[in-house]
Amino acid sequence: MAMEDVQKHSVHTLIFRSLKRTHDLFVSNQGNLPEIDERLEKLRRSIKAKDGYGLVLDKVAKIGEARKASGAQTPGDKTLAITDGSATDAASGAGSLVKYNAGARPAEKTAPLVTGTHTSLVRASLANSNADMSANGAIASHLQLIPKKAPSIPKPKWHAPWKLSRVISGHLGWVRCIAVEPGNEWFATGAGDRVIKIWDLASGKLKLSLTGHVSTVRGVAVSTKHPYLFSCGEDRQVKCWDLEYNKVIRHYHGHLSAVYSLALHPTIDVLATSGRDSTARIWDMRTKANVHTLTGHTNTVASVVAQATNPQIITGSHDSTVRLWDLAAGKSVCTLTNHKKSVRSIVLHPSLYMFASASPDNIKQWRCPEGKFVQNISGHTSIVNCMAANSEGVLVSGGDNGTMFFWDWRTGYNFQRFQAPVQPGSMDSEAGIFAMCFDQSGSRLITAEADKTIKVYKEDDEASEESHPINWRPDLLKRRKF
């Protein structure tokens, strides 16, 4: 028996047939929809209004009654009230309430609702205009909101571009730290060759080498009040060097692992150190006593800074947090958890009451003393090892891949990017920048790098706003608080 061929139809035909069959199936229900019950509809609106605006319904009524009692309203004023739909529409005067029914259909004319948070009243300014009476007795009112001040994003200040002026060689290992002495005549560096070297700032010549550490030197600092140089390293040692005799006069014992950073308090004779044992320690400079052990971080504390005003100690850690410490109590007063990755550097602004923290996700700016977030500075996506800021509002960040980004502190505008050239003979992978600082005048930038060199940068004197214009495009979506 021969099989009959199945007739094939187009997809359009099949869809049309399916729609027609569905229509025929429900055609008997057409026109039998129930009528809307006005009482139930009114009840539904009342419930919806109480659910959404129940916290402020009574406040609006009380304010309206108080205004009527005090006679504060003028005949031209109109008040916007939120009602639950159960009150009758009292649109019988110039000072009447404009009723808002939640869930109203588009066909119904209702006054626009201005809402904010449920716990606060939103004040609406109604334009005083002549009320036009229509045929059905409705009042045509025009609402005018109080204009909100648009957020202003200031234009960045022009900064001259920086250029490399000197490369200093002499260390036999990665250069890990830098400190400039208060007189601005020389600076000290520490490196992986376990040696601290003193260099003449003007000529770049080596003046002195200090040996004593048995592992990489990770931090150096020069006292502004005493002829002392402080150093710390991966050998867990913190040393105080007398620069008149060029020898170690004190050791500060207590860290359980490598010490990565140290800072001197500007007014009190105390020293702050931090390291891989997840703590920061406060030392009495004279007695060598461990005054406080600041515990709370859960990973390496990579950076510590000290300032005269509260918070006097700020630390950044690989646990992605920044902590602000009360030096008198030795306790953490605030923990900033905005970063998503390890914080390796913290820098204080020389004149503003602010500081910045660096992480591979963002550089973040904060306002002291409570650590209020100011803005993100985005763009330097590598591991940011170090930062430096000067009084002219230049913020510099140095990356693990040898990149340097120059920012305008106030606006976060990136006005220059720089790839540090590696020393001839070193590997391309040895391009990391481990430390940087400005000299006391803020006109020279010194960097410590993985190619075993120290580089000195200066502003380009020949540059101008015409030769290097500001290519500034404000990001309207980025909210900044100044």
What pLDDT, on the 0 to 100 scale, is given for residue 49?
A: 83
CATH 2.130.10.10 in the chain, residues? 162-459
Q: Give the Cβ contact number of residue 142 at 10 Å.
A: 11
What pLDDT, on the 0 to 100 scale, is given for residue 201?
A: 95
C-alpha to C-alpha distance for 157 and 392, rounded to whole angstroms:
9
Strand order in the sheet with 453-459: 162-169, 453-459, 444-449, 433-438
Strand order in the sheet with 313-317: 301-306, 313-317, 322-326, 331-336
Residues with Cβ within 8 Å of 76's Cβ and at least 6 positions away in sequence, in order, are: 94, 128, 129
Whether 124 and 145 have beta carbons less than 8 Å apart is answered as: yes
What pLDDT, on the 0 to 100 scale, is given for residue 268?
A: 94
What pLDDT, on the 0 to 100 scale, is given for residue 51?
A: 80
What pLDDT, on the 0 to 100 scale, is given for residue 469?
A: 87
Whether 174 and 192 have beta carbons less than 8 Å apart is answered as: yes
What pLDDT, on the 0 to 100 scale, is given for residue 46?
A: 86
Is it true that domain 162-459 has CATH number 2.130.10.10?
A: yes
Instruction: Give the strand pairing for 97-98 and 79-80.
Output: parallel
Mean pLDDT, consecutive 10-residue stretches, the chain (482 aa), reads 65 88 79 73 86 77 83 51 46 40 42 41 38 40 49 81 94 96 96 97 95 96 95 97 95 96 96 96 95 96 95 96 95 95 96 95 94 94 94 95 94 89 72 94 95 94 87 58 42
